[in-house]
Amino acid sequence: MPSLHFILVQLPDDAREAVLTAARAEFPTAEIIVGDASPSPANFFSQAECVLVVRAATEGTEPLNTDPEGAPLFPVVTLGAATSGCVDTVPPEAWTPRSLARVFRAALEQHALRVENHRLRGDLKTVARRFRHDVLTPISCINTGTCVLKIVPADETATIAEILQNIDASSAEISQLIERVSFVLRASAEPVKMHKVEMGEVLESVLAELEKEIQQASATVESPRLWPSVSGVPAWLQVIWRNLLQNALRHGGPAARIQLNGSIDGEAYRFTIADCGDGVDSTVIPLLFRPFEQLHSQHSPGLGLSLVHRLITLQGGSCGYTPREESGALFHFTLPRTSR
Amino acid sequence: MNVLVVDDSPNLARVTAVALRTLGCVTFTAHNTAEATRLLGAQTIEAIFLDVHLGAESGLDYLSSLRMQPAAPPVILFTAEAKDDVAEEASRRGAFGCLIKPYDLDDRRCLLDQLTRARSRAS
């Protein structure tokens, strides 16, 4: 379980001792913060952390605990009289350490289910809208190309070749889309056991697979000799590295020089992939790694980095992009050092 | 007729251009709004085929900005959104027509014919 923080807001005096006792007994490693106001999502902890807010019931002051996309951010336990008007208020007769411990545990479990429900609903909307859109584009290509082939004179061989090439490419695009979306959905829906994985072996296999693409791009890939063992899913790690490497090959400029690295960063391993291309336009940066479940709601670039984001999140890590000071792009992701 | 095709999918932009050429058009292609604006400044464009989803950009927003310019060419939008979702919005923003994916050559021919008739009436 990720690190847990209790935030106690304006607790009734006669509940304070029982809340502290319950929190310390049930969650001995949790950090307890006493605050004056409900936390704002804007100054929130990292996504890898978990927050439980315990607050006094007051009329009309439900805390804002969803992000702009409507995803639940943290569970809230409200203490107060049954007449306070708040839903799910814990009444004074239940302000005992044992009852409160049960309430806290239930609130965390319910929150986890709400988060998962939100993600699954988002996945469905993404398939219904974004996937539909993305697959209809190459289908339109094939439809139009087929119609043109019917009317174009047989001696216009260049036009015919161009259309056939487009039909081929569109067909490949449809296959890739189906494969990617299917991979995300399977990874998200089926429970997978984490293994101890040698990251060096994963990378070796991906680099061998991409050898031809690397040669065709006249690119060089610099990689340290030693890589750590991580806890993860080998097939997912391969997809992550393959996507990030193909991204660097496409956007790293002519004869791209791609640098891979891995280091310890606190409780996590941090992996980076850097290139010397033009970097990412500042208007596009906020759209990189857009969660798969949010792809239905806004214009955004391709599915590749959303797939990477989901696979890393499922393994307990995080990912991001940093512009390089000189020039080029630096993509990075973390994975926890301890097994989950 | 000089037609500008704006689509972030290189395949669809290319095949649309070929299709329009078979219908007698001279075509130019752009993959984003910056390229489209540059071509509009450099060429005499008489109609625009514009995708609603241009990667991170919105074709509908670009349509609105075009309609604010005097003598902007007529715009035919194409989209994979459900017809009712976009067609009304496209019309409200001043699009000449709207093609819903998956479409084929006849859909384009039909809209081009309407456009040619409209231009004849206007002249």
SS (H, E, C) chain B: CEEEEECCCHHHHHHHHHHHHHCCCEEEEECCHHHHHHHHHHCCCCEEEEECEECCEEHHHHHHHHHCCCCCCCEEEEECCCHHHHHHHHHHCCCCEEEECCCCHHHHHHHHHHHHHHHHHHC
The yes-or-no verdict on residue A39 having pLDDT over 70 is no
Q: How far, in Å, CA of B7 to CA of B32, rounded? A: 7
Closest chain A CA to residue B9:
A137
Read off the pLDDT of each residue in B60-68 and give the average, rounded to a whole number: 93
Give the pairing type, strands B2-6 and B26-30.
Answer: parallel
- Residue A147 touches partner B, C-beta closer than 8 Å: yes
DSSP A108-167: HHHHHHHHHHHHHHHHHHIIIIIIHHHHHHHHHHHHHHHHHHHHS-TT-HHHHHHHHHHH
Q: How far is CA A30 from CA A8, A20, A103, A146, in A?
A: 13, 11, 16, 63
Read off the pLDDT of each residue in A170-193 and give the average, rounded to a whole number: 91
Give the 3-state secondary structure of residue A334. Answer: strand
Read off the pLDDT of each residue in A6-30 and give the average, rounded to a whole number: 88
The yes-or-no verdict on residue A161 having pLDDT over 60 is yes
Find the distance separating the first CA and the last CA of chain B, reported in whole Å.
15
Structure tokens given for A21? 């006792």
Read off the pLDDT of each residue in B99-107 and give the average, rounded to a whole number: 75
Q: Which residues of A205-221 are buried (b: 16+ CB within 10 A; e: fewer)?
A: ebbeebeeebeebebeb
Question: Tell me, what's the ipTM?
Answer: 0.78
The yes-or-no verdict on residue A168 having pLDDT over 90 is yes
The yes-or-no verdict on residue A83 having pLDDT over 60 is no
Q: Exposed/middle/buried for A201, CB within 10 Å: 0-12, 13-18, 19+?
A: middle
Question: Is A166–B80 a contact, with Cβ atoms under 8 angstroms apart?
Answer: no
User: Shortest CA distance to B33 belongs to which of B64, B70, B1?
Assistant: B64
Q: How far, in Å, CA of B93 to CA of B64, rounded? A: 6
The yes-or-no verdict on residue B49 having pLDDT over 90 is yes
A224-267 pLDDT per residue, tens: 999 999 999 999 999 999 999 999 999 998 889 999 999 988 88
Write down the pLDDT at residue A49: 64
The answer to whether the CB of A275 falls within 8 A of the CB of A327 is: no
Nearest chain B CA: its distance from A132 CA (Å): 7
Write down the pLDDT at residue A42: 47
Structure tokens given for A16? 């304070």
* pTM listed for this prediction: 0.78
Q: ∠ at Cα A62 (A58, A66), nearest 5°?
A: 160
Question: Is B80–A299 a contact, with Cβ atoms under 8 angstroms apart?
Answer: no
For chain B, the farthest-separated pair of C-alpha atoms sits apart, in whole angstroms, at: 38
Read off the pLDDT of each residue in A182-203 and give the average, rounded to a whole number: 90
Question: Is B56–A284 a contact, with Cβ atoms under 8 angstroms apart?
Answer: yes
The domain B2-47+56-122 is placed in CATH, from the list 3.40.50.2300, 3.40.50.300, 3.10.129.10, 3.40.50.720, at 3.40.50.2300
Q: Exposed/middle/buried for B97, CB within 10 Å: 0-12, 13-18, 19+?
A: buried
Confidence of residue A35 (pLDDT cuts 50, 70, 90): confident
* Better-predicted residue by pLDDT, A334 or A40: A334
Read off the pLDDT of each residue in A145-163 and give the average, rounded to a whole number: 87
The yes-or-no verdict on residue A41 having pLDDT over 50 is no
Chain A residues lying within 8 Å of B105, measured CB to CB: 144, 147-148, 151
Read off the pLDDT of each residue in B26-53 and give the average, rounded to a whole number: 94
> CB within 8 A of B4, min separation 6: which ones?
B27, B28, B29, B30, B36, B39, B40, B43, B45, B47, B48, B49, B73
Domain ranges of chain B: 2-47+56-122
H or E stretch covering A20: helix A13-26
Radius of gyration for chain B, computed over Cα atoms and rounded to the nearest angstrom: 13
The yes-or-no verdict on residue A84 having pLDDT over 60 is no
* Mutation site for B-interface testing, chosen from A126, A135, A140, A142 by largest number of B Cβ within 10 Å: A140
Chain A residues lying within 8 Å of B53, measured CB to CB: 133, 299
The answer to whether the CB of A290 falls within 8 A of the CB of B46 is: no
Phi and psi at A9, nearest 5°, equal -120, 120
Q: Tokens 């999140």, residue? A: A313
Q: Tokens 């850097």, residue? A: A274
Confidence of residue A85 (pLDDT cuts 50, 70, 90): low
Confidence of residue B113 (pLDDT cuts 50, 70, 90): confident
The yes-or-no verdict on residue A40 having pLDDT over 60 is no
Write down the pLDDT at residue A64: 63
Write down the pLDDT at residue A78: 87
Read off the pLDDT of each residue in B29-55 and give the average, rounded to a whole number: 92
Q: How far, in Å, CA of B13 to CA of B10, rounded? A: 5
The answer to whether the CB of B45 falls within 8 A of the CB of B26 is: no
Q: Which residues of A286-324 are buried (b: 16+ CB within 10 A; e: fewer)?
A: ebbbbbbbbbbbebbeebbbbbbbbbbbbbbbbbebeee
CB proximity under 8 Å: B 18-57 to A = 18-19, 21-22, 53-57
Q: Residue A338 has what DSSP assignment?
A: S
Write down the pLDDT at residue A338: 62
- Residue A149 touches partner B, C-beta closer than 8 Å: no
Structure tokens given for A171? 């067909």
Confidence of residue A340 (pLDDT cuts 50, 70, 90): very low
Write down the pLDDT at residue A222: 95
Q: What percent of chain A lies above the pLDDT cut of 90?
A: 45
Q: What percent of chain A lies above the pLDDT cut of 70?
A: 89
Cis peptide before A224 (omega within 30 of 0): no
> CB within 8 A of B118, min separation 6: which ones?
B74, B96
Confidence of residue A60 (pLDDT cuts 50, 70, 90): low
A102-128 pLDDT per residue, tens: 999 999 999 889 989 999 999 999 998
- Residue B12 touches partner A, C-beta closer than 8 Å: yes
Read off the pLDDT of each residue in A50-78 and give the average, rounded to a whole number: 77
